[in-house]
Structures are given as C-alpha cells and as structure tokens.
Amino acid sequence: MARVKVSLPESFGFAVAIPVRITDLNYGAHLGNDALLSLLHEARVQFLAHLGVAEFDPATQLGFILVDVAIEYKAEAFYGDVLTMELAANDPNKYGFDIVYHVKNQLGKEIARAKTGMLCFDYTTRKLRSLPPELAAKVG
C-alpha cells in the first residue's frame, strides 16, 4: 500500500508552540491521531490570524472550509512535550490554498508532517468564493 508523503517547503513563515495535554493522549499513552488533528487546527487558526484573516468571521459569514488533510506520522509525542509547529501556505488556486505543517518536539525531533487543503467559503450562500487578491498575494 502506498503511504502518504507530505513535501515540505524550503522555508516556513510562521511557528507556534503548543504543549501536549493529558487529554491529548490515547490508550497507548502517546499523542493520539485525533488530538494531533485538533492541535493542527489550533495552529491553523493562529496562522490565518497571522495572515490577517479568520477561519470564520461571524459578521460577514465568510471563512474557509478544510477540504482534505494528509498527515505523515514520524514519531511519538508524549504528555509534557511542547510541539513546535511551523506553517507555510502554498499551491494557491482560484478558490484557496494548501497549508503545510512541520511538527517537532522540544528536542527538535520530527513528530509529523501534514497538509490541509483550504477553500474560501461563503457560509450564507453555502458556496465557494474566490480567493481574495490580497490574501492570494500573501499565500503565493
């Protein structure tokens, strides 16, 4: 079976540190796959804020939807680890872009690589909307 491979960009423009909480552990006493996805979500919201946009703006009903995700697990993470997540946007298109994540622990050990596909969405009309030019300039 072919395995997921996430290619990393040459550089990342944003990083955030997020600790592994006790509630993030699974029965194997390490970071659960579902918890990692939640931590990626937190990192993504902070990254989008860094870019000057919100994942969802209740006033305008504009935001983004996540249309796909790929995670390549590299090592275990444990309670007390502080994960540094580096994020970069790439592959902009008419309706959105990808976000690539590189996750390492406090010792610099690679924990995971991930990619999420983000599309611009109008929650009022429930339809895709074009990537705004000012955001396209930031993610291109």
- What is the model's pLDDT at position 140? 83
- What is the model's pLDDT at position 87? 98
Q: Which residues of the chain are under the pLDDT cut of 70?
A: none
30: which DSSP letter?
S
92 close to 140: Cβ distance less than 8 angstroms: yes
Question: Which residue reads 């909307």 in tokens?
Answer: 129
Q: What is the pLDDT of residues 28-55, one digit of tens each?
A: 999 999 999 999 999 999 999 999 999 9
Question: Which residue reads 């929650």 in tokens?
Answer: 123
**Fold entry, domain 14-139:** Thiol Ester Dehydrase; Chain A (3.10.129)
- Angstrom distance (rounded) from CA 112 to CA 131: 28
Name the residue ranges covered by the structural domains of the chain. 14-139
- What is the model's pLDDT at position 86? 98
Type of residue at 105? N
